[in-house]
Structure 1
Amino acid sequence: VTGRQVHADMAYSHPVPKARRAGHTVAVGVDWGLNTLLSAGALRLRADGRITALGAGGQFRAAGVLAKQHRLRRHSERLHAKADHYTRLAGGNERHQLVGKLAVLRDEIRRVSDRRANLNAALAWAAARWTVDQAIAAGASVIYVEDLRSLEARGMGATLNTRLSQQVRGQIVDRMRHLAAEHGIAVVTTPARNTSKHCPQCLTPLRHCKAPDRPTTPGWKWAICPHQSCRWQGDRDQGAWRRIAARGLTHQAKTVIDKTSGHMVIRAVVDKLEASAVITKTYRGDRSKTGPTRRKPPRPAPRRRRAPSPTRPYSRAGKRPEGHAPTDRRLPRAAHRHQGVNTISTPTTGHQPRGAALGAGFHFHAHASPPRWETIPETQSDSGSLS
């Protein structure tokens, strides 16, 4: 209450378009990764049933943030292990000498946990904002995301299981739904079965290798379709988002609203609909040469060469004369002095920069390199300057 007025902090609300469950023609597919957090791109469902890609897609890389997150996680694990060790040594004795150190450790653990929470929140908002911006730029009305329940780490080792559990995927999807609702864009989860295994253009099982220039080295990053009539190849994550978006467009009639969470989901994959979830290759026009190359006019000289340098400086310390310094007379002292690039000179009273005026081109006490027309021997300067 201020005077006779009551000031209340109310939540700001505004109407937004309602997201549709079906009837989508442009969709964005999102694939999750370990090192590359998100890979996304847009597909279009045409009137004749064909699905084509809108561009090559993009990737949200957060290697630096994830590396910091892993460092904080390892630091937190070490602090917890040390605190447990102190607790065992103290044995429940409140007057033990390690009780003070244990309190300090617990405060540090709390601070590290807060840093990790803030870092995860910032990363989740940034990734969600990037994904929604991709959908807005492509004119998409739906975003298809892999079902997070199918991404449980099983049998992958303790290290990888911890990395997967520490990801902020759940927070990203929640914030993605919040930001997409402002623009009427639906966020639908789809099954992730075989999204990285099959070719997005012919559904043939892919052959994975280390890199495109190492097709015989076993790996998982690069995928090559072995079908002779297709021969698609690309990054594994780039092929996965194509499969996710194509599956969502063909299964959009199967979209339901989960009664527990209220979110839109596609629960299962229908084989008949999956058979039509292929992306049609877009062919570029014929770029073969049909005639002589059109002659291009010669490139004009740069503008800086059109106006010649002045014949003499406008003042005693004016512009550098055109060309090299004259060699038909004795060069000024500034051209002969051998000083390093870090030379610091002592200011003098009434100093005049005669070097530039006489043709050396630089100040007396500023020489980054010797002149072109003379090689200066490597001798120590006796001028008394600091180098």
Structure 2
Amino acid sequence: MIGPGTTAPRQFTFTTRAYMAVDDATGEPIGLDDVNTRARWLLDLVTAAGAELMSRLWQPVTFDVLAAGRDRQDRRLPVQGHVAAARLGWNPHYRDGVYVPSRVSRVVTAQVMATLRTLAYRDTAITALSERFDPATGRIAPPSAVADWVPLGFARGVRRQLVARSRRIDGAPSARLRITDVQGPPQTSAMARLSAADRQLAQLAVTGDELVLTVKLPTCPAPAGRAQWRSVRVTATIPGHLNGRAVTGWHLPTLALDRKGLLWRCAATELVPACDLGSATVAVGVDWSPSTLGAAAIATQTPDGVVSDYRGFTYDDRGLGTKLARLQAEGQLLQRKSARLTRLAATAPSEVRVRLEEKIAVLNEHRTAVGVKRGKINRELGFHFARQVTDYAEAAGAEMIAVEDLTTLEPRGHGRVNNNRAAQSARRKATAALAHTAAGVGIAVVTVPARGSSAQCPGCDEPLARPGGYHDAWCPGCRVGGNRDQIAGVNLAKRALLGKNKVTRRRGQMPAIRVAEHAPVRRSRDKTSPTPRRPRHRRVRHSLPTATPRMGVTPKQHVPAPQASVWDTVKPAPPHGDAGSRDTRTSHLTATLVADSMRST
């Protein structure tokens, strides 16, 4: 039973890096560069074996077995991927003369099984969509049953694949298609999920504020025996933001390599305040906005009905949205250049082809760097947005936060460029960050239907007018209005409060409300929503050292270049004697003398 003061376990992830490594048998220190090299050999073995197993299992019968969920003895397949693969006889193969421990094979099969189980849903959907696809018109007929419904974005992607296939076969009618008919096996990432193994391959210990990982790594690219696998004890620091949190368990990390070396993607279990959705009376609705990342508003359920002050706040992305749009346009330009040079290189002479391939490699490298930068900005944007909304909900005393279901949200009607820009926004990352941040203070995040949230009045459920343009909303009947996104936030909060007893929970997903119910939202004249804290930003200027003025030369005021970013928060004002300070005010006498000197010249 959930009550005040109760806690619930939840898992979260974080990343860290090692700063020290020693040989587990001898205790001699090992350089981190050597550890990175040996980890690369391990990842190469895992990646090669995973790609070989994936290509061997890329058959329709594989997805038939996964969809049935039964083995040869008609037993239910276990949840653990490596155990299910062992029952089915799906074992990886390695090169001749290479020895790989069985625990490493567990890692390989667990990663491949996770990918295949994810694609089993896509295989079923492609089969259902291909049966309703008309090669002559290139259209997919509407589904006849509710079970055949798929998200519109997913259906459009499958339709493009079916159209491309029909062009290759000259529009001939095809039989029942599978995922193996329209696409090839996916590429596996270079990583090693140590959680699929046991203590014989990896162990994790916590000592104070450090994580000590003991893992077996190969000593050469192609180990020929067990002696060429040696244990290494690697030590990393627990990130500072985890200090003081009620962590009850630390789990084995996933190893990956990036430009800085070996990266640990760790998971841990902690205790957070439990939330009872059935007793929630205050909800915050978050609407994804095309102009900024999102806006929030509050609705309260009282004995007299649902009330709201129709006020909220709009998230300030500090200019990061504009930077993301610029990086997206730059990445698309690099992609077009690379595609054009690739087409030219296909028919160019050998000498020209070599130069074109060098340019293509440079363009691809720049495009990858742009993608990495976009990923970092998206992560920063998502967690900053999550912290702002969580503080807003906590100050209002809300028990849950309602966000739009991203599977039913589709940007359209704003032009090709703006639709693509909205689709590339960090909404999914912001949703995950919001669920993680809000759970730490005992606030649950639920998804609600998005249709009509910005177009219908929360009071009378009638279409809203746009007297001031796209971002303005007004209901003549209820005499309420304001910012379009904040009105949508009231609708989302109302749907969460009305459907709090009909929440659907699925493993690995956030609680969801599938049906949008309506009840009039009465406008409250009292201010129920808190005023969000917004840090002021000011450009800070620093003066140059005072120089001795030369005789007979009119001194000029030195205005140096700014040394602080516009994102820096307010700092103490510099002394009034500084020439570059904005707080410095010129006296009336000084202004008069300057004016007289200008007239005299």
Q: Which moved more, 1:170-179 or 1:19-28?
A: 19-28
The yes-or-no answer on 1:222 pairing with 2:478 is no
Residues 406, 428 of structure 2: 8 Å contact kept = yes
Alignment partners' CA distance in 2, 1:343 and 1:38: 44
Where do residues 18-57 of structure 1 align in structure 2 (5 Å cutoff)?
18-46=274-302, 48-53=303-308, 56-57=311-312
1:142 equivalent among 385, 397, 400: 400
Matches within 5 A, 1:1-387: 8-9=211-212, 10=250, 13-46=269-302, 48-53=303-308, 56-62=311-317, 64-91=319-346, 93=350, 96-154=354-412, 156-209=414-467, 211=468, 219-227=469-477, 230-259=478-507, 261-270=508-517, 274=518, 276=519, 278-283=520-525, 342=556, 368-370=590-592, 378-380=599-601
**1-structure distance, mates of 2:412, 2:366:** 32
The DSSP-based 3-state class of the residue aligned with 2:300 is strand
Residue type at the aligned position of 1:249: L
Which has the greater radius of gyration? 1
- 1:257 aligned counterpart, secondary structure: coil
Distance between the aligned counterparts of 1:132 and 1:100, measured in 2? 48
Question: Which amino acid in structure 1 is aligned with residue 600 of structure 2?
Answer: T
Superimposed CA distance per residue, residues 212-260 of structure 1 (whole angstroms, 9 cap, x where no aligned partner):
xxxxxxx322112121xx311211111111111112111211112135x
The alignment partner of 1:264 has SS state of coil
Equivalent-residue separation in structure 2 for 1:96 and 1:196 (angstroms): 54
Letter in 2 for 1:87: T
For the residue of structure 2 that corresponds to 1:224, the secondary structure is strand
Supply the AA of the counterpart residue of 1:342.
K
Partner of residue 360, structure 1:
none
Residues 43 and 284 (structure 1), Cα distance of their counterparts in 2 relative to 1, 3 Å cut: closer
Give me the whole-angstrom Cα distance separating, in 2, the residues matched to 1:248 and 1:266.
7
Looking at structure 2, the residues matched to 6 and 266 of structure 1 have their Cα atoms a distance apart, in angstroms, of: 40
SS in 2 for 1:241: helix
Normalized per residue, which structure has more strand? Answer: 2
Q: Is the 8 A contact 2:281 2:301 kept in 1?
A: yes
Deviation at 1:281, TM superposition (A): 2.4
Instruction: Give the whole-Å Cα distance in 1 for the aligned partners of 2:369 and 2:593.
Output: 59
Change (3 A) 1:16 1:377: closer
Looking at structure 1, the residues matched to 486 and 471 of structure 2 have their Cα atoms a distance apart, in angstroms, of: 10
Is the contact made by 1:21 and 1:264 (CA closer than 8 Å) also made in structure 2? no
- Where 1:15 maps in the other structure, the secondary structure is strand
Secondary structure of 2:523's partner? coil
Taking a change above 3 Å as real, the CA distance of residues 223 and 156 of structure 1, as seen in their structure-2 partners, is: closer
| Alpha-carbon spacing, 1:73–1:232, altered in 2? closer, same or farther (3 Å) | same
**Distance 1:12-1:257 versus aligned 2 partners, 3 A rule:** closer
> Secondary structure, in 3 states, of the residue corresponding to 1:265?
coil
Q: 5+ unaligned residues in a row in structure 1: which ranges?
A: 212-218, 286-336, 345-366, 381-387
Residues in 1 aligned to 2:493 and 2:307: alpha-carbon distance in whole angstroms? 11
Letter of the aligned partner of 1:222 in structure 2?
A: D
TM-score, normalised to structure 1's length? 0.67
SS class of match (1:202): coil
Q: Distance in 1 between matches of 2:295 and 2:206?
A: 49
What secondary structure is seen at the aligned counterpart in 2 of 1:254? coil
CA distance in 2, matches of 1:25, 1:242: 14
Summarize deviations over 1:88-125 as a string: whole Å, max 9, x none. 22227486222222222121111111111111111111
Q: Is the 8 A contact 2:310 2:523 kept in 1?
A: no
CA-CA distance at 1:156 after TM superposition? 4.9
The two structures have a TM-score, normalised by structure 2, of: 0.44
Q: Structure 2 unaligned segments of length 5 or more: list them.
A: 1-21, 29-204, 213-249, 251-266, 528-550, 559-588
1:35·1:61 contact (CA, 8 Å) conserved in 2? no
Q: Of Structure 1 and Structure 2, which has the larger fraction of its residues in helix? A: 2
In structure 1, the residue corresponding to 2:450 is in which secondary structure? coil
Distance 1:342 1:231, change over 3 A: same
Matched-pair contact (CA < 8 Å) for 1:189–1:266: yes
Which residue pairs with 1:292 in the alignment? none
Residue 338 of structure 1: how far off its partner (Å): 11
Counterpart contact for 2:310–2:486, Cα < 8 Å:
no
| 1:318-349: CA deviation from partner (whole Å, max 9, x where unpaired) | xxxxxxxxxxxxxxxxxxx99856289xxxxx
Give the root-mean-square deviation of aligned CA atoms. Answer: 3.2
In structure 1, the residue corresponding to 2:375 is in which secondary structure?
helix
Change beyond 3 A, Cα 1:368–1:53: same
State how far apart, in whole Å, the 1-side matches of 2:509 and 2:362 are: 44
| SS in structure 2 at match of 1:189 | strand
Give distance in 2, aligned partners of 1:377 and 1:283.
58
2: CA distance, partners of 1:42 / 1:159:
32
Q: CA 1:89–1:186 in structure 2 vs 1: closer, same or farther (change >3 Å)?
A: same
Distance of aligned partners of 1:96 and 1:243 in 2 relative to their CA distance in 1, 3 Å threshold? same
Shift of 1:284: 6.0
SS in 1 for 2:273: coil
Q: For residues 481 and 598 of structure 2, what CA distance do their matches in structure 1 show?
A: 59
Secondary structure at the counterpart of residue 31 of structure 1:
strand
